[in-house]
Amino acid sequence: MAGGKRPFWMHQLVEYILGVALVASGAQSPTPAVPAVLGGLILLNAALTKGALGAFRAYGRKVHRVFDPIVILVCVAGALQPWVSVESSTRAVIIAIAVVHLVVFLGSSFHERQPRSQRVKASGDRSTELGKSAGRVVGSGVKTARRMFSGGGK
């Protein structure tokens, strides 16, 4: 975790929960359009982001970091807008979900992990590389010994 913030997979999980909660709130409401659309927007933002729980992985975490405040503002605007009828209790749910989304956004890490091949190169530390290669040699030796003594021979 970077700087004591929650990992991005947890951020995505909470967004899925918030989106489903808004869609469910819309399904319970006599005026379902606004909460259902806003819940779908939150779900779409989580699903399109590259991450552990991303469904489509269309864009990275940096773009998601820009979209999150926009989605939060759209949720608040959707709750406060006067044009489409929204029940007052549903408005309160939308505002509460927007506040939770803001708190999650502020406490999340958006740093992308480096691929394993770049982690060793990025460190450039020869002792780390030597230790890793020694560990691999010992590991493959143990694996070979297990195969020989287990009678598998494979």
| Residues 80 and 100 reside in one and the same domain | yes
User: Which residues of the chain are under the pLDDT cut of 70?
Assistant: 1-3, 118-124, 152-154
Radius of gyration of the chain (CA): 23
Q: What is the pLDDT of residue 81?
A: 95
Q: What is the pLDDT of residue 112?
A: 83
Q: What is the pLDDT of residue 152?
A: 59
| Residues 95 and 124 reside in one and the same domain | no
| Domain hosting residue 142, numbered range | 117-150
Q: What is the pLDDT of residue 131?
A: 81
Closest listed residue to residue 15, CA positions, set 108, 131, 134, 137: 108
CA distances for 87 relative to 18, 40, 76, 137, angstroms: 19, 18, 14, 66
Tally of structural domains, the chain: 2
Q: For 121-130, what is each residue's pLDDT tens digit?
A: 555 677 778 7
| Dist. CA 68–CA 93, nearest whole Å | 18
